[in-house]
Structure 1
Amino acid sequence: MSELMTPTLAGAAAGLGVAMPMGAMSVLLLQEAMRDRRTAVAAAAGIAAVDLGYAALATALGPWVASHISPVEAWVRLASAVILLVIAARGLAGARPPGVGAAASDSGLGASAGSGSGSGAGSGAGQVGVFVQARPGKAFVRYVGLTALNPTTALYFAALTTAQGAALRTGAAGGAFLLGVGAASLLWQQALVTLGSLAGTRIPDRARIWTFRLGYGLVAAYAVKIALPLP
């Protein structure tokens, strides 16, 4: 058991290393938690699932992953930036004071900032129930797709696993490494969900709208940052 502790701790460090930097996905996850905790829990699981998936791929095929993603990295970054800009635009358009644009759609990541209020009395109970049941699953899939667009995560794990070489080639050591990656990433993302959920219950609606505007502004800025230099 002790021989598996080293790869487990290495995996935990790798998971935290890729999860802790507060990039665009962290901002989106915090805002998701301010709207609806159940949706954010699913979204956090989606992010952690991609981290684990890339780590598993890199553990098995580290050098191959790096050599095949590097040539198209700039184009993948550009596609990711375009998607993030669309999300930011929708989010900024939906961030309006309570009572304004009440009919606006609350689907997708660009949902109205006020849609997460737990006291929504204007809609039927049946509609609310259906929406709440469907939304976490959609959020999981959506965040899996968005996180997977980041080639840096794949290259990050490819570099780590290639550097460790034969140490992770055995099934037990590789499994311990992946356990550490998945657990650390999931715990960090769920910590962000808790932080966002607590903030969402303690700030006024108008103040929350401004945090959404600031957050989506950061997402837009991050999108421009990752797009440069252009292919």
Structure 2
Amino acid sequence: MSELMTPTLAGAAAGLGVAMPMGAMSVLLLQEAMRGRRTAVAAAAGIAAVDLGYAALATALGPWVASHISPVEAWVRLASAVILLVIAARGLAGARPPGVGAAASDSGLGASAGSGTGAGSGAGQVGVFVQARPGKAFVRYVGLTALNPTTALYFAALTTAQGAALRTGAAGGAFLLGVGAASLLWQQALVTLGSLAGTRIPDRARIWTFRLGYGLVAAYAVKIALPLP
């Protein structure tokens, strides 16, 4: 059981890294929570489902890719680390007090910016996103979140670099469990926050979600890059 703890924790860190930066989807989810908690819970599950789906696809293909490139495995790990560092640097560069909404739109990572629209744009569409049934909200948020290709790139880089570690079904399953649980818990925490406080989240708090989330991505990049080729 203890050997599965490492991939589970790795998955949890990956899930938080992709979910924590607060962008357009987070704003829409908070607004959904203000209108109705049941609908928002379903919407949050839809966002987490896409994170899990991208992670599952990458986990299924990553070990296969890694097994066919073993002669240059160290260089593949380094390339994956560079991709993750670029994602992290781009997100951290946008974590500034001025234009936080624009940073959310430009960050392009995970559930946070899945719709490809800025936080301001999402807020402006509050009249369009009227309260729906939980099932419809789930499907709508799955579609919006799936529009972000950077989530797929993020998990592809992670799982290809860790191909050997995720090669067994148990390890891959534990990794996915961590991803799904962490993403779902974070989205449901936003639902609770939206129910209690609405969208009045200080800019400083939002900036710190970017810093923490992308900090996890950067730490992951360093971890998989070592030892260097």
Normalised TM-score (structure 1): 0.58
Q: Point out where structure 2 has 5 or more consecutive residues left out of the alignment.
A: none
What is the CA distance between 1:53 and its match in structure 2?
Answer: 0.3
TM-superposition CA deviations, 1:13-69 (whole Å, max 9, x none): 000000001111111111111111111000000000000000000001239999999
Q: What pairs up with 1:17-166 in 2 under 5 angstroms?
A: 17-62=17-62, 135-166=133-164
- Say if 1:140 and 1:7 are closer, same or farther in 2 by CA, change over 3 A: same
Runs of 4+ deviating beyond 3 Å:
62-113, 116-134, 200-231
What is the CA distance between 1:165 and its match in structure 2?
Answer: 1.5
SS at match of 2:181: helix
What is the CA distance between 1:96 and its match in structure 2?
Answer: 30
Contact 1:8 / 1:178 at 8 angstroms: preserved in 2? yes
Contact 1:87 / 1:110 at 8 angstroms: preserved in 2? no
Q: Which moved more, 1:69-78 or 1:139-148?
A: 69-78
- Say if 1:2 and 1:28 are closer, same or farther in 2 by CA, change over 3 A: same
- Say if 1:123 and 1:148 are closer, same or farther in 2 by CA, change over 3 A: closer
What is the CA distance between 1:169 and its match in structure 2?
Answer: 1.3
Q: Which moved more, 1:192-201 or 1:5-14?
A: 192-201
For 1:17 and 1:165, the matched residues in 2 are separated by 19
Q: Point out where structure 1 has 5 or more consecutive residues left out of the alignment.
A: none
What is the CA distance between 1:152 and its match in structure 2?
Answer: 0.5
TM-superposition CA deviations, 1:147-205 (whole Å, max 9, x none): 00100000000001011111101100000000000000000000000000002499999
Contact 1:66 / 1:155 at 8 angstroms: preserved in 2? no
Please say if 1:213 is aligned against 2:211. Answer: yes
Contact 1:62 / 1:157 at 8 angstroms: preserved in 2? no
Contact 1:19 / 1:185 at 8 angstroms: preserved in 2? yes
TM-superposition CA deviations, 1:62-114 (whole Å, max 9, x none): 3999999999999999999999999999999999999999999999999999x
Contact 1:35 / 1:200 at 8 angstroms: preserved in 2? no
For 1:99 and 1:159, the matched residues in 2 are separated by 29
Percent pairwise identity: 99
Contact 2:108 / 2:150 at 8 angstroms: preserved in 1? no
Contact 2:66 / 2:160 at 8 angstroms: preserved in 1? no
Bigger Rg, structure 1 or 2: 1
- Say if 1:73 and 1:41 are closer, same or farther in 2 by CA, change over 3 A: farther
For 2:3 and 2:227, the matched residues in 1 are separated by 43
Normalised TM-score (structure 2): 0.58
Count matched residues.
229
- Cα RMSD after superposing both structures: 10.0
For 1:162 and 1:89, the matched residues in 2 are separated by 20
